[in-house]
Amino acid sequence: MKFTPHGLRATFIGAGHAAGVTDRYVELLANHKQRKGDVHGGYVPEDDLPALRVATQKITDYLRQRGLPF
């Protein structure tokens, strides 16, 4: 198994997509800038904490179901 600390970030992002979190929320959680040409991205409020919490929980649940112990 190949492991790098940065891989945890990539794993989190990948899990977000697999768990069905929308692209913009995965990007927000990863602190990525809004893409050029992403005209809808600006409509997603960046400080909607309850929504971000729901997205994070989805990712956590996904990882737990696949064997991560936290």
Partner 1 sequence: MLPCGYRDMTRHLASDPEGMTMRQAFESHKQGMLNKGASSLSIAEYDLAFRHLNDWADVPLRRLTGTVGRRMVRERQLKIGKTKGKAAADKTMRGLRAWWNTAKREDLGLGESPTINVAWYKSQPRKSALRTRDLEQFGRELEALRRLTSSRDPDKHVADLRGDGAFSD
The residues of the shown chain that bind partner 1, judged by CB under 8 A, are: 1-4, 6-8, 10-11, 13-14, 18, 63, 66-70
Coil/strand/helix, residue 44: coil
Q: If we measure between CA atoms, which residue out of 29, 36, 33 comes closest to residue 14? A: 29
Contact 7, 34 (CB under 8 A): no
Q: Which is nearer to partner 1, 3 or 50 (CB)?
A: 3
Q: How far is the CB of 67 from partner 1 (least distance, A)?
A: 3
Q: Which is nearer to partner 1, 10 or 49 (CB)?
A: 10
Q: How far is the CB of 8 from partner 1 (least distance, A)?
A: 8
Contact 25, 44 (CB under 8 A): yes
